Structure 1
Amino acid sequence: MATTTTSRPLLGLLEALRRNPESDQTNRILSSATSLLTTLSNPLNITLLTTILLTGPALWGPSDGLTTSYRIISVFNTAAIAVHKHQTEGGATKPYDAYQPRLGGGLTCDKWTTAVLAGLNERSQRWQHALVSAGVLLGMESSERRGLSPALRGKIENALATASTLVMREPAIAGPLGVAAAALALNYGYPLFSDMTRRMLDYDAMIMPLLTSMTSFHGYENGHFVEAANSDIRQVQGRRFDWSPASNSFRYLQALGSKPLVASVGSMSRIISDAIERCSNPHRAIEALDHLLGFTGILLSAWEANKLSELDTSEEETFLTPETRRITYPALWQLLKGVMFSTVVILRSIVAKTVTNSLLSSNGVAPTIASKSLLILRNIHFISSRTGSNSLSALTFINLASIDILNRFPLQARDFLKSIHPAHPGQIPTHPLQRSHDLFYLNTVEHFTLIMSPATAENLIFIPASPYLNPTANVHLLEIFEAAHSAMLAMLAAPQSGPLTAKVLPFYVESLFNSFPTNLSPRQFRFAFKSLMQLTTPPAPISATEPQLAETLLEFLHHRALNAPTSPLPPSMAIKSQADAQTAPSPPLSEQAILLLTLLDALPNLPLNVLEEWLPLSADLLNAIPDAGMREHCKRRFWELMESGEMDIDRSAVCVAWWSSRGGREMVLFGKREGPFMSGGLGRRESLL
């Protein structure tokens, strides 16, 4: 090797790499390596430097987790970007002399990459080869850069795929660090792989090493960060919780969040998801499911033991110090959100494969997978419910697909529901986490009413839901109130629940009316009452045994409306959720106006003779509304009801006759009855109450 301006720095760097590790020298070594990789003009020197970077004791001493592995990727990524830039600017072809310095080392991207790949030999580990390959591929081909020839790009993709696959086929040889490093390299390289390269991968071998790396020491450390946070949470004056940003647990939390596999958990979870979808051995999907169930179970137990789990969302401002609420608490939830999203992405692929794979969808396997999938959702429900993520399309798919599978197996479904049944049904738990479990249970159990006997439905739905139907319950539990009402309506709507419906309906109706408007929003109340009318009118079975029930409900509603307050509902009562905000009318309506709208919503379900009676009564109630703006809003709804197609043909004919020939037009538009009416005109109606 000739002595040149670049050989002396190279010799110095090689000497530094052969020394014992010194933490204060690592940054200087890697910075020098990056610079030399872009300026060396002799390919043999680049090959030598690559080899020494992967074997030098100065970098690969006592394990620092994936920090060095990540920085190796960064070194070769940065160097590759610089080489590509030099080539783009003509550095490999422009003449140069003392007055016109050469750009970089003067090597083309292909020659430079070939020299780097030559440094990946038997002296270093396979997972180290993967790190270098990932860095070069990332620097040359990402962000619309096309620095390599197709043949060489295929070669480096193949090198990364082969190295990663060999490591994951024999994880015991590479060790946890080697497996995690290969996972990190694959995390960066996989999105750039061609379809041909992706077909080369051994997905069966990849799934568990990738998943284990994500959740164990080099990733989320099996949820230990939740438990660790608890050690530094102190109760200070005013019964407030304080978690200092200067505490050891928060510094640990920040360090964990900056781990390479945690910081890039989104792309890692997508690779695992892709591997599950492409794997040929369905048992690997079952192993991944069991691993997720264990991991999320540990996380849930750690959260239950954490002091912060004692706080309801509505209490955080009161019981957390300002610094905790602003800094440490959000950081914890940010990590938990990452856990939730990655879990959902992976679990979705497992459930999707269950639907399409003959083994996983078999009678002996499918209900177990569905039950475990729902248990995983329950384990992370304390995260998804708090962050408003329950409406995620992937989470919804997992939930509904698993429920659909379990509905095919009534015995297994019953066993599953009993396993998540509230520990103390019939009362509202004081601990927020237990209420979160109740919310998940109520949202789940309502989907199984069609396979329940009346006795089972009473035990599994009516008793657990009853305390949340109490109108005097905590107003901060509105989401659970809605879930309880939804579960009750689903139970009452089941065809086989006729005797149970007759038994519990009076209790439910009383709770419904007493809960509005304090605990139920106008939207929720209107939906619930309309559902009741559908349950009590033909062709519902109970309408045959209790033919007067629907009219009795209408009488109850009508009487309540005649005596209801006429002032606009305050926003705290009118809007209780985002869905309420999206449908809130303008101007704000009074309780009386909302009850009239509820009555109008029920008209399309009434038998023809009952509809004839209630059209003029509805018009009279419309004219009893004193506020002109509210009255106009209700008039528009009245007209919309008759002309929008909500009524079937026969009911529409009744409405047309009433509107045109029986004074309906005059009553609605001008607020007065005019006659004479045709035969069949309505006289005074006797109340059913």
Structure 2
Amino acid sequence: MSADRLLTTTLRAYQEPHRPADVDRLHASTATLLSNLNNHLNISLLTSQLLTARAIWGEPAPFAVAGDGLRTCLRVLSVYNTAALHVQRNEEENAKLRWGQQPVGSGVRCDTWARAVAKGADDRSARWKHLLVLTGTLMGMESEGCRALSRGLRATLEQAVVTAANLALEDTSRRRPYTGGELGSNAVMLALAYVFPVLSDHHRQMLNCDLVLPAAVRAMTGPEGFQDGDFLRSISAGNVAGHETFYRASPSSFAHVQQLEARPLPQNMGPLSRLTAFAVQHAADSSVVLDTQDRLLAFSAGLLERWRQCPFSPVDISTEAAVLPPDMLRGPWAMLWRLLKKILYTVVATVQPIMGRCLLDPRLRNDATAPTVASKTLHTLRNLSFISSRQGADAFQVYVFTYMTSLDIITRYPDACVRFLQEAQPTAPGQPNSPALTPLDQALTLFYLNTAEHLPLSLPTPAAESLVLTLATAHLSAVPPSSSAAHAAVLSVLCCPQHAALAIALIPFYIDILLASFPARISPRQFRLAFKTVVQIASPPFPIAASHPLLAETLLEMLHFRAATATTHPLPAEPGPANGDNNVMNGEQQQPLPPVSEQTTLDWLTRTAEAMNTVVDPALREVVRSRFWDVLVSGEMDVERAAIGVAWWGIGGGREMVMLNQAAPKRDGEVMMSGALGGNRSEACRL
């Protein structure tokens, strides 16, 4: 069929009633015509008719199926992107032809073709539709390193894209007619997400971010995006009695999740989140930024509540392989968690620039606003902790920056710290009439304990006791990782000088639990860190040493007696400490620590040297020997303790005990505490 005849047929088909079955054929015909029409006036006419075609847009009737509107927008954008690529390629091929040879395609040059398309975006159609064809044209001509347009025309086209987006969003915000409503706003966000990397910095700055930001958040969380978490309700509608898989009991239950993931906006959440972050950084009105945070907080709270009501939220990651069949794990279950992680990354990518702006913007970093912003961010991260706690999903730099910045800000405001802990306090285990903690409750508890670890220095003593110690001590005997977080929270309170009264009363109780928890619930490295911290707290210059001068030595003697009866078989290998988050992000495997046993973990200078000689396994004995060198020469000790350690090694018999397996020297029959050098008892080694 000739191009003129195909043009006539296509224009006539545009005016017919909307029939979804014919839409694909019309899109294909349009792409063919755009690439082969040699009259720029016909290109403008085709574009103008396409943007008002009843057969394409279903006007005046709305789209019957959710998501069809944005799919149509994406198809129109793709048609012009594909046509622009063909025109560009044809121009390159025609430049190689000899005189007299038949040109490839229409022979229309890229600049002429782009101008013709822009003229077709006239007043007969809405501005958000103009943005689709302008975006497709600019992307086809200038993306992926291509430079098909002249410099002046590219700048003009970028200006037209930005102007169309701003005007379309302004029309939508003022509810003017022919704006397309929510579809028009979402179409603008979809187009900007695609074209944003192509725009120059100059034209990016011209975007009206006060209008882009709320539209972007609505697009992310609204019906065409994550649906405010309502897709979890469809899972709840399935019959899951006896852990029957919901896709068997109710096939449509998971089909909705699959359809959501395949929609245009969820498929492009990465580019859209980058656009949203830019809008946060450059919005002129700070109230728009605060409103964005409120919307994300409400979205995360709704998602948390819907997940709590989902019948599959009680399935723990450690038991899901036994509870769910393999085809469930590989298919619907994996797809659900992939979508939930996408939600986490999208929300955090938007919250992160809010916290960055809170550090720089005077309207956000003041004492009246900053603690509220930090608290709301922490609540948002808490609501998403059931996702972030799964398989290290929070180990990326954007999350770490957002979390740590929020903590840095809120710790400057004691009242805000107390208020946040009161609002976020989870259920403690073992309370009367309280059910066993679900995986969701465990995730919330873990987030609470990890956050509470950073706050005791900013808390008054009564709040530290009621909001941190009470819950943390209840979880000391729990299984990891809650027990590890509980130990860290307790130690953070003990380390604060203003909480010395609490520390004196708590240390005996805590040491008893610590010794009972090792090695079943905490690792050797964690045990060493916890015990060393308590000994340091009980030593000068901490105030406890003045009122209880023998407490540190007593703790070391307890450690010695525990070592005498400890098991000697090697414990399971544990990974080495991570160097920041780079290892996790780069996929690097952490090197395991050297092998240890329960006995060799309980090491302390003289008593350790004595205990080392009783270790039968030469390999484990060598690990303890290496530990001595590490403690003495690595700078782990402060100057005063290092001097004691050097004296012990040189004149206190340490070298002979470690290297030659000799017994500890006796000094005038004096009975010495662990690590004592003899003579002055106040010089007892406190490491």
TM beyond 0.5: yes
Amino acid at match of 1:208: P
Find the aligned partners of 1:95 and 1:478 in 2 and give their Cα distance: 78
Deviation at 1:270, TM superposition (A): 1.1
- 2:445 corresponding residue in structure 1: 438
Task: Report the secondary structure of 2:51's partner residue.
Answer: helix
Alignment of 1:53-92 (within 5 A): 53-61=50-58, 62-63=62-63, 64-90=68-94
Amino acid at match of 2:499: S
Deviation at 1:186, TM superposition (A): 0.7
8 Å CA contact retained: 2:606, 2:664: no
Task: Report the secondary structure of 2:55's partner residue.
Answer: coil
Listed one character per residue, the Cα deviations across residues 610-631 of structure 1 (whole Å, up to 9, x for unaligned) are: xxxxx43332122111111111
Deviation at 1:299, TM superposition (A): 0.9
- 2:30 corresponding residue in structure 1: 33
8 Å CA contact retained: 1:296, 1:379: yes
Q: Against the structure 1 CA distance between its residues 682 and 130, is the aligned structure 2 distance closer, same or farther, given a 3 Å change threshold? A: farther
- 2:685 corresponding residue in structure 1: none
Deviation at 1:53, TM superposition (A): 1.2
Q: Against the structure 1 CA distance between its residues 686 and 594, is the aligned structure 2 distance closer, same or farther, given a 3 Å change threshold? A: closer
Listed one character per residue, the Cα deviations across residues 65-115 of structure 1 (whole Å, up to 9, x for unaligned) are: 30100000100011111111111222596545xxx5431111111111111
- 1:629 corresponding residue in structure 2: 619
Q: Against the structure 1 CA distance between its residues 686 and 199, is the aligned structure 2 distance closer, same or farther, given a 3 Å change threshold? A: closer
Q: Against the structure 1 CA distance between its residues 620 and 382, is the aligned structure 2 distance closer, same or farther, given a 3 Å change threshold? A: same
Task: Report the secondary structure of 1:486's partner residue.
Answer: helix
- Choose the corresponding residue for 1:638, options 622, 628, 633: 628
Alignment of 1:76-225 (within 5 A): 76-90=80-94, 94-95=98-99, 101-171=102-172, 172-173=175-176, 174=179, 175-225=181-231
**More displaced, 505-514 or 445-454?**
445-454
Listed one character per residue, the Cα deviations across residues 618-669 of structure 1 (whole Å, up to 9, x for unaligned) are: 3212211111111111111212222223344444444444333443322211
Alignment of 1:72-471 (within 5 A): 72-90=76-94, 94-95=98-99, 101-171=102-172, 172-173=175-176, 174=179, 175-236=181-242, 239-244=243-248, 247-424=251-428, 427=431, 429-470=436-477
Amino acid at match of 1:124: S
Deviation at 1:195, TM superposition (A): 1.6
Find the aligned partners of 2:631 and 2:71 in 1 and give their Cα distance: 66
* Greater share of residues in helix: 1
Amino acid at match of 2:648: W
Amino acid at match of 1:522: P
Q: Against the structure 1 CA distance between its residues 196 and 332, is the aligned structure 2 distance closer, same or farther, given a 3 Å change threshold? A: same
Q: Against the structure 1 CA distance between its residues 652 and 499, is the aligned structure 2 distance closer, same or farther, given a 3 Å change threshold? A: closer
Task: Report the secondary structure of 2:147's partner residue.
Answer: coil
Task: Report the secondary structure of 1:285's partner residue.
Answer: helix
- 1:16 corresponding residue in structure 2: 13
Amino acid at match of 2:149: L
Find the aligned partners of 2:602 and 2:318 in 1 and give their Cα distance: 30
Aligned length: 652
Find the aligned partners of 1:464 and 1:284 in 2 and give their Cα distance: 37
| RMSD of aligned alpha carbons | 2.3
Find the aligned partners of 2:627 and 2:462 in 1 and give their Cα distance: 41
Where structure 1 has 5 or more consecutive residues not aligned to the other structure, the ranges are: 600-614
- 2:480 corresponding residue in structure 1: 478
Deviation at 1:389, TM superposition (A): 2.1
Find the aligned partners of 2:383 and 2:653 in 1 and give their Cα distance: 60
8 Å CA contact retained: 2:575, 2:590: no
Listed one character per residue, the Cα deviations across residues 490-541 of structure 1 (whole Å, up to 9, x for unaligned) are: 0111111111111111111111111111111112111111211221111111
Find the aligned partners of 2:211 and 2:399 in 1 and give their Cα distance: 26
Find the aligned partners of 2:129 and 2:673 in 1 and give their Cα distance: 88
8 Å CA contact retained: 1:240, 1:318: no
Q: Against the structure 1 CA distance between its residues 158 and 241, is the aligned structure 2 distance closer, same or farther, given a 3 Å change threshold? A: same
Deviation at 1:381, TM superposition (A): 0.8
Deviation at 1:245, TM superposition (A): 9.8
**More displaced, 644-653 or 302-311?**
644-653
Q: Against the structure 1 CA distance between its residues 649 and 221, is the aligned structure 2 distance closer, same or farther, given a 3 Å change threshold? A: closer
- 1:671 corresponding residue in structure 2: 661
8 Å CA contact retained: 2:429, 2:437: no
- 2:679 corresponding residue in structure 1: none
Find the aligned partners of 2:664 and 2:384 in 1 and give their Cα distance: 63
Deviation at 1:264, TM superposition (A): 0.5
Amino acid at match of 1:209: A
8 Å CA contact retained: 2:417, 2:459: no
Whether 2:47 is the aligned partner of 1:50: answer yes
Find the aligned partners of 2:125 and 2:248 in 1 and give their Cα distance: 44
Find the aligned partners of 1:532 and 1:583 in 2 and give their Cα distance: 28
Q: Against the structure 1 CA distance between its residues 363 and 656, is the aligned structure 2 distance closer, same or farther, given a 3 Å change threshold? A: closer
Find the aligned partners of 2:135 and 2:347 in 1 and give their Cα distance: 25
- Choose the corresponding residue for 2:590, options 582, 588, 591: 582
Find the aligned partners of 1:463 and 1:506 in 2 and give their Cα distance: 16
Q: Against the structure 1 CA distance between its residues 91 and 36, is the aligned structure 2 distance closer, same or farther, given a 3 Å change threshold? A: farther
**More displaced, 528-537 or 180-189?**
528-537
Amino acid at match of 2:2: T
- 1:685 corresponding residue in structure 2: 672
Amino acid at match of 2:36: T
Deviation at 1:209, TM superposition (A): 1.0
Listed one character per residue, the Cα deviations across residues 346-403 of structure 1 (whole Å, up to 9, x for unaligned) are: 1011111111111111222222211111111111111111141223222222222222
**More displaced, 541-550 or 403-412?**
403-412
Deviation at 1:570, TM superposition (A): 3.6
Amino acid at match of 1:685: M
Deviation at 1:330, TM superposition (A): 1.0
Deviation at 1:249, TM superposition (A): 2.4
Task: Report the secondary structure of 1:156's partner residue.
Answer: helix
Deviation at 1:301, TM superposition (A): 1.1
Find the aligned partners of 2:635 and 2:159 in 1 and give their Cα distance: 62
Listed one character per residue, the Cα deviations across residues 571-625 of structure 1 (whole Å, up to 9, x for unaligned) are: 5xx5699899835334x221111222xx3xxxxxxxxxxxxxxx43332122111
Task: Report the secondary structure of 2:521's partner residue.
Answer: coil
